[in-house]
């Protein structure tokens, strides 16, 4: 294939799609560019069909540090496991692509997005979805595209929407909406916002759908130039008798599903599926149709659950569509930790724990993203025991990283800024039980633990997961979905926010007929659900605690002149390390002269602050000091006033009367009481006067201070000097 290029401009930015030159052995490969950010997206479809009861799609996003002109950190100096941002980008590509393949397509598909260039202005993530769509269609894969993804920002000043904002434009935006789909439907939504209204969010989503359609049109023009040849593939079709035999058990399946207890219900359903397999199929048929029988049983379960809701308005646990499961809320559940909160909704239970630390404990990021790090970290853990299963535990999976990022995004807008609350904040949500909506439980639990820790959040945040059952024109929106309604339903729509507005959204959609009207209905129902949950939370803890736990560090801020920073740090950090070792505090020094001192002991805090202030203090005329003599010259003594400032006590001011040598009055290490009498405005040199002046030692003819080495030489007569005067002889 010859090189084919489609260049176009949309919403003020330049884009380019090209194929035919790179990675020609892949099923399809497209280099997609925005500005100077370029990503190669390849798609490979395997030749063999797999005997799976799911679609085997794998998506990898490869962050290459050379794309931003950097060498990876660490010892290996090569890219290793993906960063959290890389994992989230891979998920963002996967979610809108997966629904575009037909049911029954079981050939493995692998999509790889490799960053070639990232210009520091245009993010690479959203264009990867268009690249994946184009690569699949260039290769002739059975993909229902074109599909595209856009990020929608909103200018804080003008209120205008921005399509695919640059990093700089995003800084001035109160909305970050990432939306993906085709020209006809929305398949994925991710959003973070500064408490915007449901109406404004809907307007942004509607605008985003229009932008997606525009990008799909440009992609179609590119594909028309390529004119790809459709791939030969087979859609697996099960023998009709499989569904027919399994369908005879509809009433038994509907009865098995009516159980509010998750594990009990799952056991009944699995027992029924085993009975269907054993009673309706021979061993030979089971061997030949194994995956088809499993798929038919799953389809029966799905049909029974959905029909129950559509026809009766009753869910498997007996709730109405708008009803929320019973709540159990306990802030301050754990002792000693800085903050904790237990949040339980039905059979989903999450313990969130907050830890406060110095700002220098922030998370540093080694990625292609311009962000160097973050002070607020939210982590979500989903161990096997929370679903009653046995499994291996290790690095967090994509789902865990995604749910943690959602809760983090939901709470970021309400956190105090660094000036008002100079702490690094880490929240860990441990899922102890799970039956759906665990990410929303972690959001609610995190609000509880932050308030319990005394973090002055501007408003409390709650979250709820919405579902959808759509059969033809019949539509039911579900509040607070549980696991089965997520797996067998048409939508998982998570909404987080405060009483003032939305802070985060996440949606995955399987229903191709999802309209703006349905989304508006879901957002309204979610608002009511969030309010109900938040009222229950505020009954237990109405506001952030006024005092932090005794175990939490107290951090106080000192501002010093920038030219004094080196004095506090000292050569090789010697001074600041000495302060920390002496007092036991933690010290974080910023480039602008801001110093954060953290300690759990008030006396240690005050001691460290006194030392720092003493180092940077500039003595003023009239101030008095008890200073140590640190140097002696012929003309006077140098007295240490502060750790970084000495003053000169002239020889004429060390005693009352004339002094022959400074050493006759002062020695190194002596502590004297002095007063500042002059500070040279040009040089900063300080002149001192001694306040406790002794009488000056007498010279010849008077008493003199006994010198070292005179001991044992006998007493001298009064009035005698150290030598016997010569007598005068006359001739």
For residues 563 and 572, give the distance between their C-alpha atoms in angstroms, rounded to a whole number.
Answer: 16
- CA–chain centroid gap for 394, Å, is 20
CB 454 within 8 A of CB 547: yes
For residues 658 and 697, give the distance between their C-alpha atoms in angstroms, rounded to a whole number.
Answer: 8
Q: What is the predicted pLDDT for the residue at 170?
A: 94
- Integer angstrom CA distances of residue 293 from 121, 284, 301: 51, 13, 12
For residues 681 and 612, give the distance between their C-alpha atoms in angstroms, rounded to a whole number.
Answer: 24
Q: What is the predicted pLDDT for the residue at 618?
A: 82
Q: Which fold has domain 554-616?
A: Ribosomal Protein S8; Chain: A, domain 1 (3.30.1370)
Cβ-based burial of 546 (10 A; exposed 0-12, middle 13-18, buried ≥19): exposed
Q: What is the pTM of this model?
A: 0.83
Encode pLDDT of 530-542 as tens digits. 999 999 999 999 9
Q: What is the predicted pLDDT for the residue at 542?
A: 97
Q: What is the predicted pLDDT for the residue at 365?
A: 83
For residues 433 and 482, give the distance between their C-alpha atoms in angstroms, rounded to a whole number.
Answer: 12
End-to-end CA, the chain? 133
Of 259, 255, 258, residue with least CA distance to 275: 255
Of 150, 148, 151, 149, residue with least CA distance to 192: 151
Contacts of 395 (CB under 8 A, 6+ apart): 81
Q: Is 251 annotated as a binding residue?
A: no
CB 65 within 8 A of CB 78: no
Q: Which residues pair with 506 in a beta bridge?
A: 190, 494
Encode pLDDT of 21-31 as tens digits. 999 999 999 99
Encode pLDDT of 297-339 as tens digits. 999 999 999 999 999 999 999 999 999 999 999 999 999 999 9
CB 191 within 8 A of CB 38: no
Minimum mean pLDDT range among 311-315, 697-701, 724-728 = 724-728
pLDDT over threshold 70, residue 718: no
CB 401 within 8 A of CB 87: yes
CB 110 within 8 A of CB 58: yes
CATH code for the part of the protein at 327-540? 3.30.230.70
pLDDT over threshold 80, residue 452: yes
From the candidate CATH numbers 2.40.50.140, 3.40.50.1220, 2.60.40.1240, 3.90.550.10, the one assigned to the domain spanning 624-690? 2.40.50.140
For residues 152 and 208, give the distance between their C-alpha atoms in angstroms, rounded to a whole number.
Answer: 7
Name the band, by pLDDT with cuts 50, 70 and 90, for residue 715: very low
For residues 704 and 274, give the distance between their C-alpha atoms in angstroms, rounded to a whole number.
Answer: 113
For residues 429 and 425, give the distance between their C-alpha atoms in angstroms, rounded to a whole number.
Answer: 13
For residues 100 and 112, give the distance between their C-alpha atoms in angstroms, rounded to a whole number.
Answer: 17
Q: What is the predicted pLDDT for the residue at 361?
A: 86
DSSP codes joined into one string, 517-555: HHHHHHHHHHHHHHHHHHHHHHHH--S--SS--TTSPEE
Report the pLDDT averaged over residues 354-379. Answer: 88
Q: What is the predicted pLDDT for the residue at 37?
A: 97
pLDDT over threshold 80, residue 698: no
Name the band, by pLDDT with cuts 50, 70 and 90, for residue 727: very low
3-state secondary structure of 304: helix
Encoded tokens for 124: 């690479």
For residues 293 and 731, give the distance between their C-alpha atoms in angstroms, rounded to a whole number.
Answer: 146
3-state secondary structure of 89: helix
CB 63 within 8 A of CB 37: no
Q: Is 84 annotated as a binding residue?
A: no
- Integer angstrom CA distances of residue 540 from 440, 501, 528, 535: 18, 22, 19, 9
pLDDT over threshold 50, residue 286: yes
Q: Specify the DSSP class assigned to residue 695.
A: B
DSSP codes joined into one string, 555-599: EEEEE--GGGHHHHH-GGGHHHHHHHHHH--EEEE-TTSEEEEEE
For residues 402 and 514, give the distance between their C-alpha atoms in angstroms, rounded to a whole number.
Answer: 23
Encoded tokens for 105: 């397509």
Measured over all CA atoms, what is the biggest interatomic distance in the chain, rounded to whole angstroms? Answer: 155
Name the band, by pLDDT with cuts 50, 70 and 90, for residue 173: very high
Report the pLDDT averaged over residues 517-529. Answer: 92
Q: What is the predicted pLDDT for the residue at 414?
A: 97
pLDDT over threshold 60, residue 92: yes
For residues 345 and 330, give the distance between their C-alpha atoms in angstroms, rounded to a whole number.
Answer: 12
Domain formed by 4-226, architecture: 2-Layer Sandwich (3.30)
pLDDT over threshold 60, residue 713: no
Encoded tokens for 219: 């992609």
For residues 366 and 480, give the distance between their C-alpha atoms in angstroms, rounded to a whole number.
Answer: 37
Q: What is the predicted pLDDT for the residue at 712?
A: 43
DSSP codes joined into one string, 196-254: E-HHHHHHHHHHHHHHHHHHHHHHHHHHHHH-PPPPP-------HHHHHHHHTTHHHHH
The structure tokens 């794998």 sit at: 58
For residues 504 and 520, give the distance between their C-alpha atoms in angstroms, rounded to a whole number.
Answer: 16
Cis peptide before 146 (omega within 30 of 0): yes
Encoded tokens for 385: 């025991």
Q: How many helices (H) and strands (E) does the chain have?
A: 15, 29
Report the pLDDT averaged over residues 449-477. Answer: 94
Report the mean per-residue pLDDT for the chain: 90
Q: Is the dihedral of CA 192, 440, 100, 521 positive or negative?
A: negative
Report the pLDDT averaged over residues 439-462. Answer: 97
pLDDT over threshold 50, residue 199: yes
Tell me how long the chain is.
731
Q: Strands 148-155 and 173-181: what pairing?
A: antiparallel
For residues 411 and 405, give the distance between their C-alpha atoms in angstroms, rounded to a whole number.
Answer: 10
DSSP run (H or E) holding 273: helix 262-280
Report the pLDDT averaged over residues 99-119. Answer: 92
Q: What is the predicted pLDDT for the residue at 723?
A: 44
- CA–chain centroid gap for 546, Å, is 26
For residues 322 and 276, give the distance between their C-alpha atoms in angstroms, rounded to a whole number.
Answer: 34
CB 106 within 8 A of CB 50: yes
Q: Which residues pair with 557 in a beta bridge?
A: 596
Q: Specify the DSSP class assigned to residue 53.
A: S
Report the pLDDT averaged over residues 242-258. Answer: 93
Q: What is the predicted pLDDT for the residue at 78?
A: 87
The structure tokens 């970084």 sit at: 644
Minimum mean pLDDT range among 427-431, 536-540, 641-645 = 641-645
CA atoms within 13 A on the CB side of 146: 23
Report the pLDDT averaged over residues 678-706. Answer: 78
pLDDT cut 90: percent of the chain above it: 68
The most confident of the ranges 453-467, 585-599, 614-628, 702-716 is 453-467
Name the band, by pLDDT with cuts 50, 70 and 90, for residue 700: low
CB 67 within 8 A of CB 51: no
């Amino acid at each position: 294939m010859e090189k084919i290029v489609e260049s176009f401009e949309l919403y003020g930015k330049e884009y380019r799609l090209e194929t035919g030159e790179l990675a020609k052995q892949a099923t399809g490969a497209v280099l997609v560019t925005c500005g100077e950010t370029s990503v190669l997206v390849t798609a490979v479809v395997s030749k063999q069909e797999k005997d799976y009861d799911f679609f085997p799609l794998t998506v990898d996003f490869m962050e290459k540090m050379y794309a931003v002109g950097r060498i990876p950190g660490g010892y290996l100096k090569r890219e290793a496991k993906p960063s959290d941002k890389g994992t989230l980008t891979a998920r963002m590509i996967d979610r809108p692509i997966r629904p575009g393949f037909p049911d029954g397509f079981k050939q493995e598909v692998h999509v790889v997005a490799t960053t070639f260039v990232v210009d520091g202005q245009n993010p690479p993530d959203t264009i990867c979805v268009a690249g994946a769509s184009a690569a699949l269609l260039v290769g002739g894969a059975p993909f229902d595209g074109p599909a595209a993804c856009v990020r929608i920002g909103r200018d804080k000043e003008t209120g205008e929407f921005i399509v695919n904002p640059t990093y700089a434009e995003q800084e001035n935006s109160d909305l970050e909406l990432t939306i993906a789909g085709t020209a006809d439907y929305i398949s994925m939504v991710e959003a973070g916002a500064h408490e915007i209204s449901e109406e404004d969010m809907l307007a942004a989503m509607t605008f985003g759908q229009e932008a997606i359609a525009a990008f799909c049109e440009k992609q179609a023009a590119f594909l028309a130039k390529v004119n790809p040849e459709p791939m030969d593939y087979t859609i697996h079709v099960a023998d009709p008798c499989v569904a027919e035999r399994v369908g005879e058990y509809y009433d038994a399946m509907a009865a098995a599903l009516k159980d509010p207890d998750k594990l009990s219900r799952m056991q009944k359903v699995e027992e029924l599926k085993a009975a269907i397999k054993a009673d309706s199929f021979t061993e030979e048929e089971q061997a030949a149709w194994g995956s088809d029988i499993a798929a038919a049983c799953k389809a029966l379960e799905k049909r029974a659950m959905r029909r129950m809701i559509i026809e009766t308005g009753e869910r498997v646990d007996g709730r109405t569509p708008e009803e929320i499961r019973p709540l159990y809320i306990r802030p301050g559940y754990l002792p000693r930790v800085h903050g904790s909160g237990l949040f339980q909704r039905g059979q989903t239970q999450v313990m969130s724990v907050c830890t406060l630390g110095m700002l220098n404990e922030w998370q540093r990021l080694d990625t292609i993203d311009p962000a160097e790090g973050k002070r607020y970290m939210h982590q979500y853990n989903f161990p096997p025991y929370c679903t009653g299963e046995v499994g291996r535990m290790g690095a967090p999976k994509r789902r865990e990283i995604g749910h943690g990022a959602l809760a983090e995004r939901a709470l970021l807008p309400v956190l105090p800024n660094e000036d008002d609350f100079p702490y690094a904040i880490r929240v860990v949500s441990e899922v102890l039980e799970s039956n759906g909506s665990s990410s929303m439980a972690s959001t609610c639990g995190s609000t509880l633990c932050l308030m319990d820790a005394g973090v002055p959040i501007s408003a409390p945040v709650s979250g709820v997961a919405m579902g959808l059952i759509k059969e033809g024109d019949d539509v039911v929106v579900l509040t607070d979905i549980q696991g089965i309604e997520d797996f067998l339903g048409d939508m998982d729509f998570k909404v987080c926010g405060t009483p003032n507005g939305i802070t985060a959204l996440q949606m995955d959609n399987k229903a191709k007929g999802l309209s703006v009207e349905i989304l508006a209905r879901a957002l309204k129902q979610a608002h009511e659900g969030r309010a109900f949950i938040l009222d229950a939370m505020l009954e237990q803890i109405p506001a952030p605690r006024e005092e932090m736990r005794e175990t939490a560090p107290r951090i106080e801020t000192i501002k010093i002149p920038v030219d004094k920073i080196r004095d506090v740090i000292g050569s090789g950090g010697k001074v600041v390390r000495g302060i920390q070792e002496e007092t036991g505090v933690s010290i974080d020094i910023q480039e602008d002269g801001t110093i954060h001192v953290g300690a759990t002991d008030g006396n240690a805090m005050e001691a460290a602050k006194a030392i720092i202030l003493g180092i940077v203090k500039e003595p003023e005329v009239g101030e008095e000091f008890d200073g140590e003599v640190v140097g002696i010259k012929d003309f006077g003594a140098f007295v240490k006033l502060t750790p970084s400032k000495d003053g000169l006590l002239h020889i004429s001011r060390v005693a009352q009367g004339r002094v022959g040598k400074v050493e006759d009055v002062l020695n190194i290490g002596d502590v004297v009481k002095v007063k500042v009498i002059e500070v040279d405005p040009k040089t900063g040199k300080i002149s001192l006067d001694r306040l406790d002046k002794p009488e000056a030692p007498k010279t010849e003819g008077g008493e003199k201070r006994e010198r070292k080495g005179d001991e044992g030489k006998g007493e001298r007569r009064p009035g005698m000097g150290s030598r016997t005067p010569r007598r005068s002889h006359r001739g």
